[in-house]
Amino acid sequence: MSRFPVSPQTEQNLLEWMEKLEIAEEDLEEKFIKGSGKGGQKINKTSSCVYLRHKVSGLEIKCQRGRSQSMNRFYARRELCAQLEARILGQASKREQEREKIRRQKQRRSRKQKEKMLKDKHHRSVLKTKRLKPGAED
């Protein structure tokens, strides 16, 4: 019988990924806690949020993506594998790269950057005024 409510192939892929990263079920500490956020009475009553801790690496995952506890168990393990793989390979995960890009976009320009930008604009405007025909400066 399958452990997660996903297709057998998807479950097999996850188990192979965990095996490749040398994650054993014995190394995982799993708790079910009440979630947070929207949901009202339902979320306050049910413990469908999964807290997963990998004892070897110290990574902690808290997952409440789905409504069912068993799907959240699957998602938490998948997230653990992704984070552990990113840590092993020394690469930022795709999600981290997207977060960093948004953070940089929202960041305000420094005074030095603004001065350089204005200087470049002024330089460009001087070049453009030199293109005008003589006597067309009015």
Q: Domain segments of the chain: what residues?
A: 8-91, 96-130
Indicate whether this model's pTM tops 0.75: no
- Give the start-end residues of each E strand in 2-127: 28-33, 49-54, 60-63
CA pair distance 100, 92, nearest whole angstrom: 10
Residue 136: what pLDDT?
A: 67
Residue 53, both tokens:
């801790």
Residue 92: what pLDDT?
A: 61
Selection from 110, 111, 132, 114 nearest residue 122 by Cα: 114
Correct CATH for 8-91 of 3.10.20.90, 3.40.190.10, 3.30.160.20, 3.10.20.30: 3.30.160.20
The whole-number mean pLDDT for each consecutive block of 10 residues of the chain, a chain of 138 residues, reads 86 93 93 86 87 94 92 95 84 76 90 95 94 74
CA pair distance 132, 110, nearest whole angstrom: 34
